[in-house]
Amino acid sequence: MGHTFSFLSEFVPPRPKFTTDDIPDLTGKVVLVTGANAGIGKETARVLLTKNAKVWIACRNVSRGEAALMELKERTGRDAHLLKLNLANLRSIKEASEEFLSKETQLHVLFNNAGVMHPPVELLTDDGYDLQFGTNVLGHFYLTKLLLPILLSTAKSSPVGTVRIVNTSSTAHWFGSLDFDTFKDTPKRRAQYAMPLYCQSKAANVVFSAELHRRYGDQGIVSTSANPGLIATKLFRNHTGIIRWMAVCRSMRLCALVDVLLRVSRAWSCTKSQTVRSRNCTRVHRWRLLGLGGQVPISPFPCSRAV
Q: Is 202 a catalytic residue?
A: yes
Provide the pLDDT for residue 92: 97
Quote the radius of gyration of the chain (alpha carbons, Å): 18
Provide the pLDDT for residue 266: 45
The catalytically annotated residue of 42, 198, 223, 225 is: 198
Provide the pLDDT for residue 229: 63
Provide the pLDDT for residue 191: 77
Q: Is 198 a catalytic residue?
A: yes
Torsion of CA 36, 42, 43, 44, to 10 degrees: 30
Distance of CA 281 to the CA centre of its chain: 13
> How many angstroms separate the CA atoms of 94 and 85, rounded?
9
Q: Are 114 and 93 in contact (CB under 8 A)?
A: no
Provide the pLDDT for residue 123: 86
Q: Measured between alpha carbons, how far is residue 198 from residues 15, 22, 177 in Å?
A: 29, 33, 10
The catalytically annotated residue of 29, 42, 51, 202 is: 202
Q: What is the pTM of this model?
A: 0.77
Axis-axis angle for helices 39-50, 62-76 (nearest 10): 40
Q: Tens of pLDDT along the chain (307 residues)?
A: 556 666 666 666 667 777 788 888 999 999 999 999 988 889 899 999 999 999 999 999 999 999 999 999 999 999 999 999 999 999 999 999 999 999 999 999 999 999 888 688 888 899 999 898 889 999 999 999 999 999 999 999 999 888 999 998 877 666 667 777 887 888 877 778 778 788 888 889 988 999 999 999 999 999 988 777 666 555 545 555 555 545 444 443 333 333 333 333 444 445 444 444 434 554 444 433 333 222 222 222 233 322 2
The catalytically annotated residue of 169, 170, 223, 304 is: 169
Q: Are 226 and 265 in contact (CB under 8 A)?
A: yes
